[in-house]
Chain A
Amino acid sequence: MKLLMPSLKAVWRVFARLFKRPVTIQYPDQPIPVSSRWRGRIILSRDPDGEERCVACYLCSVACPVDCIALQATEDTQGRRYPEWFRINFSRCIFCGYCEEACPTYAIQLIQDFEMSEYRRTSLVYEKDDLLISGTGKYPEYNFYRVAGVAISGKDKGGAQRESPPVDVRSLLP
């Protein structure tokens, strides 16, 4: 008897749920809002001039805890370093974002896309063609060679932004 009234109340409360909307998000039909800092698929971005940002410093590859990034550095005629090939094995990637943190040139970035299911494991190995995008990603203004001291053809030492030409130390001699 002690249980009867609470039980009936419970039945009523469950029944009343019939008129509430489900909390389910119908995912494939209804997009899920992800945060702007979401760590999803990895891309390689370009600087505002359309050149590759990646300088093939291997820092991402070193930072990667699961060793899923592999690349080979090379240099072009202008003296810019770039990766000859760049490979990310997404079947290993844990989307920790360490590569993005390690990158000195904002080249490697994690974007909000996470829908990358495949039927074959090998399809998850992304080559440079798959990784490199034509845009600048999260940092539209940033251009590594414009702010860095390194010399390439067309920009000598001291030619970067907020940088003055190198001082000739010998001229200061008495």
Chain B
Amino acid sequence: MKALPFIVLLLGSLLTISALLIWVERRLLGQWQERYGPNRVGPGGILQTAADVIKLLTKEDWIPPFADKTVFILAPAVVVSAVLLSFAVVPFGPSLVVADLNIGILFLLAVSSLSAYSIVLAGWASNSKYALIGGLRGAAQMFSYEVYMGLSLMGVVMLAGSFRLRDIVEAQQNLWFCIPQLLGVGIFFIAALAETHRLPFDIPEAEAELVAGYHTEYSGMKFGLFFLGEYLGIVLMSSLIVILFFGGWQGPWLPPLVWFGTKTVVVMMLFLLMRATFPRPRFDQLIAFGWTIMLPATLINLLVTAAVILMNRHDVS
């Protein structure tokens, strides 16, 4: 596939999908809370996000006089570019991938973690107390989930014997990794919630306590970029879960891209369902949860997986 048109197409569809996701989320949340959600703009409210974008673009682009201007402007760009960059290694189909890196997973973990910088920088540059607390929480939250997030993927890597995402999908020809790695899916899903700062782990944002956390001082499209980054993050994490645990594009009869899309949509709905269900834990509860429950569980999962793989190997014994 020709690289450049594909990249442009990919970026365009990703932005469209995340815009649609915002609408889908609001409608679904409404339904789950026995109300309608946005249903006025366009058929069923589908153009709500477009209206919101127009509003954000035409709003006054205000930079607080006490802010650190350069960093303040750069911070929202970091989150979007980091997430979009991570999509470079995501295989949407057998040949639908921008860069088929042999260390795809490591690249993905590294680049998507960069988005935490955006939160810290935004919190710091805003020079306001709520934003700073939000940024600090973002940093501390990253430390607690990033460890078990990476480790929970190692079981998949061991089973597939490769860091390349395409190899991992092809290794799931006979059995999706969600079955041998049941614990791994759960752990990675929780880590993905924390990575995208979605409820119940939206602790850096925490509108109930911190106004809006790290983006308190942001308005206009700079705020829109944070928003976009969050939803792109959901798309990224959902497609990652599909690739790593649910056989990626593989499935009978339908073309690969359709399978990939369907599975990703289902996982995205799961993200939204989590938001509708759970209340936000306290900050220390999240950290305690990460270090005392998730990390040991991940290590046990890792050890058991390794032991089973070793037992089934014939060349050692």
Contact = CB atoms under 8 A, between A and B. Distances in A.
Interface in A15-30: 15, 17-18, 20-24, 26
A23 B32 contact: no
A34 interface: no
Contacts of A11: 273-274, 277
B34 A14 contact: no
Interface string B275-294: 01110000000000000000
Nearest to A4: B186
Given A10-B277, A10-B278, A11-B273, A17 B36 contact: no
B278 A17 contact: no
Contacts of A24: 34-36
B36 A15 contact: no
Contacts of B33: 17
B31 A15 contact: no
A17 B273 contact: no
A22 B30 contact: yes
Contacts of B274: 11
A11 B274 CA distance: 7
A18 B30 CA distance: 9
Interface in B20-59: 28, 30-36
Contacts of A123: none
Give the interface size bracket for A toward B: 10 to 19
Contacts of B30: 22
Contacts of B273: 11, 14-15
A72 interface: no
A23 to B, nearest CB: 5
Contacts of A112: none
Contacts of B36: 22, 24, 26
Contact of B35 (A10, A15, A18, A23): A23
B25 to A, nearest CB: 13
A28 B274 CA distance: 33
A18 B274 CA distance: 14
Nearest to A20: B34
Nearest to A10: B277
A170 B277 CA distance: 89
A100 B32 CA distance: 44
Contacts of B35: 22-24
A134 interface: no
Contacts of B278: 7, 10
Contacts of A14: 32, 273, 276-277
A17 B277 contact: no
B276 A22 contact: no
A18 B32 contact: yes
A22 B31 contact: yes
Contacts of A21: 34
A16 to B, nearest CB: 9
Contacts of A18: 28, 31-32
A11 to B, nearest CB: 5
A24 B34 CA distance: 7
A15 B34 contact: no
A119 to B, nearest CB: 21
A149 B32 CA distance: 65
A154 B315 CA distance: 122
A24 B33 CA distance: 10
17 contacts: A7-B277, A10-B277, A10-B278, A11-B274, A11-B277, A14-B32, A14-B273, A14-B276, A15-B273, A17-B31, A21-B34, A22-B31, A22-B34, A22-B35, A22-B36, A23-B34, A26-B36
Interface of B: 28, 30-36, 273-274, 276-278
